[in-house]
Amino acid sequence: MSRNLEISKYLKISQKYLDFSTTMVHTAEYLPATGTSISSVLQGGYNHPLSREWQQEKQLTKNMFIFPLFVTDLPDEETAIPSLPNIKRWGINKLIPYVKTLVDKGLRAVILFGVPLKDGVKDLVGTAADDPEGPVILAIKALKKAFPDLYIMCDVCLCEYTSHGHCGVLYDDGSLNTEQSALRIGAVAVNYAKAGANCVAPSDMIDGRIKDIKTGLINAGLAHKCLVMSYAAKFSGNLYGPFRDAAGSAPGQGDRKAYQLPPGGAGLARRALLRDMEEGADAVIVKPSTFYLDIISDASRLCKDYPICAYHVSGEYAMLHAAAEKGILDLKGIAFEAHQGFLRAGARLIISYFTPEFLEWLEL
């Protein structure tokens, strides 16, 4: 009997709450109308997809994208890079057919990274970097022949070619020999220009290399037709892992913190930008990009008369793919959001592994 009373009480209480929810006594309130100021009305200006594009001070276009290409010394190489989705290493025999598919979609510029894979090629001074039969110089000539209008940039560094994996020539104690490194890198840059490169882009961050490259180009009679795009603000950090997988360029010992910029070093970045302009850079690169928008913004003010390039690096690219694979975000949407951020910060050019996708996404 007592159990029946408990059930009856429970049913009455439940009905009471049900009645309350269906006969709510509270009503929604509004503040008194004050009128709408004309200057407060913004939404009419971006209520349509086209008008939203009009609100962008800068819009992404195909000609601002630069696509990184990893070229090996194995002619028939075509190897996917697991940590870099959709990106491969290419041998010279496979490179041209692949690039043609992108040129047909509007690709205007590439940046070449050599990847020596043959045994015994690497040495202490990166001799293979400017070998006439090496991957970069062969690729320059093949691309120029196949695509005369394609703008060919060459990353200039020794890390892929040195047995120790550092970006320059070392002293016996393992520290960087700055003077010899800059002169060696300068020679590599000049040899790329002699092979037909439209642009050389030193990424080593070694003091004085822009001056040596520019002087070398002048002495070779090539300064008037080879742009020097300096990685003027390149930071050390944790976002280069997939690139090093692709290029085989991880240092054998130590790290690169003594010549790449520390992540918190905004002042150093500004000084490096000013220095490289003074030494003869024609354009500058900020690398990485997503976490360094303030540096891109600084560069756009300090180097306001120079093209500013943002490098969306391998780790940034891989992170977006990983997040998309987990369903955290939409890949196309976040790619646009990231790259539009570079433009807002002041970049005019973007080195991006998303270039093949943007060549399709930017089709009208």
- Could you report the per-residue pLDDT of 264-277, keeping only the tens digit for each? 999 999 999 999 99
pLDDT-wise least confident of 9-18, 95-104, 128-137: 9-18
CATH architecture designation of domain 58-361: Alpha-Beta Barrel (3.20)
**83: nearest Cα among 323, 351, 318:** 318
Helices H / strands E in the chain, number of each? 12, 10
Higher confidence at residue 117 or residue 12? 117
* Distance separating alpha carbons of residues 326 and 81, to the nearest angstrom: 20
- Domain extents in the chain: 58-361
Model confidence at 255: pLDDT above 90: no
* Distance separating alpha carbons of residues 306 and 71, to the nearest angstrom: 29
* pTM: predicted TM-score of the whole model, two decimal places: 0.88
Residue-wise pLDDT tens digits, 167-191 = 888 898 888 899 999 999 999 999 9
Q: How confident is the model at residue 251 (pLDDT cuts 50, 70, 90)?
A: low
**Mean pLDDT rounded to a whole number for the chain:** 90
Higher confidence at residue 269 or residue 117? 269
Model confidence at 210: pLDDT above 90: yes
* Distance separating alpha carbons of residues 141 and 187, to the nearest angstrom: 18
Which string of b and e fits 128-148 if b means at least 16 CB within 10 Å?
bbbbeebbbbbbbebbbeebe
What's the rounded mean pLDDT across residues 283-298?
97
Active site residue 118: no
> Of 94, 122, 214, 234, which residue is the catalytic one?
234
Model confidence at 93: pLDDT above 60: yes
Alpha helices, DSSP H only, in the chain? 2-22, 49-54, 92-103, 135-146, 178-195, 209-219, 241-247, 266-279, 293-302, 314-325, 331-345, 355-361
Higher confidence at residue 41 or residue 360? 360
45: which residues sit within 8 A by CB, 6+ positions away? 51, 55
Ramachandran region of residue 327, left (φ > 0), alpha (ψ -120 to 50) or beta? left
For 234, the 3-state DSSP assignment is strand
> What local confidence, expressed as pLDDT, does residue 192 receive?
97
Active site residue 234: yes
> What local confidence, expressed as pLDDT, does residue 36 receive?
85
> What local confidence, expressed as pLDDT, does residue 176 receive?
85
Ramachandran region of residue 237, left (φ > 0), alpha (ψ -120 to 50) or beta? left
Model confidence at 133: pLDDT above 70: yes
> What local confidence, expressed as pLDDT, does residue 11 receive?
53
What's the rounded mean pLDDT across residues 96-119?
96
> What local confidence, expressed as pLDDT, does residue 21 receive?
52
Q: How confident is the model at residue 290 (pLDDT cuts 50, 70, 90)?
A: very high
> Of 287, 304, 326, 332, which residue is the catalytic one?
287
